[in-house]
Amino acid sequence: MARSYVAEAKRRGLGRRQERIGPIVERLAAEHSDAQIALRFRSDLELLVSVMLSAQTTDTNVNRVTEALFRKYRRPEDYLAVPEEELERDIYTTGFFRQKTKAIRGTMRMLLEEFDGEVPRRLEDLVRLPGVARKTANVVASELGHAQGIVVDTHVRRLSQRLGLTRHDDPVKIERDLQRVVPRADWARFPHLLIWHGRRVCDARRPACEDCVLEDLCPASRLAEPLRSSGASGRARAGRSSRRE
């Protein structure tokens, strides 16, 4: 069970989650104005396939594979027209290629049979697709402009816990907590902001609290509390540019 910083936020007098969420979103949006999905795609179908392939591998690796894959497979029918072993070879380097191949082919079959070959927008339809769990469905729906939940990946889980926005470790429970405090208009971009902040500043092992724009709002800050009252957060903002990629 992850350590809960919800009580720590209260002890440090940082305010309630509902009071802190506005400044958190605002500061992260200013700090990471380029935060967006790292996967490359040109259509709804390519988005869906990219997200399905991204499980247990890096976005960079997926983009490397899909550069050739999407030239070969353009429609749902294309994924079903080749032998299963051929598709396995084409996505081999993404890992778990057999499971992913079965999921992709099953999804393409369902898209053709039930959705006229189009990627559905509703979360309840997306999660019915083979191999599409809630996280994948949330990513796809959000990127298509129909966010119906909040994506919870490892970065979102870690930062939500450290910021005292949740006391849970289960992604479903974390999402529910975030939905209660994050304005619905920010559901799509909020995960991107946390993901990029997690990559650039709030590292899992060595968070750079001294460079963090959220230091004075974060109950997990490693800076000494006396420094907090003497302007540490100002120095953090001044030094944050050194962390930008």
153 catalytic? Reply is yes
Give the angle 201-49-39 at the CA atoms, nearest 5°.
25
Which residue in the list 90, 100, 135, 216 is annotated as catalytic? Answer: 135
Largest CA distance in the chain: 66
41: region left, alpha or beta (phi > 0 left; psi from -120 to 50 alpha): beta
For residue 170, give both structure tokens. Answer: 């289960």
- Helix, strand, coil percent values for the chain (each to nearest 5): 60, 0, 40
- The one-letter amino acid at 116: D
Give me the half-sphere count of Cα atoms (radius 13 Å) on the Cβ side of residue 21: 18
102 catalytic? Reply is no
Annotated active-site positions, please?
A: 135, 153
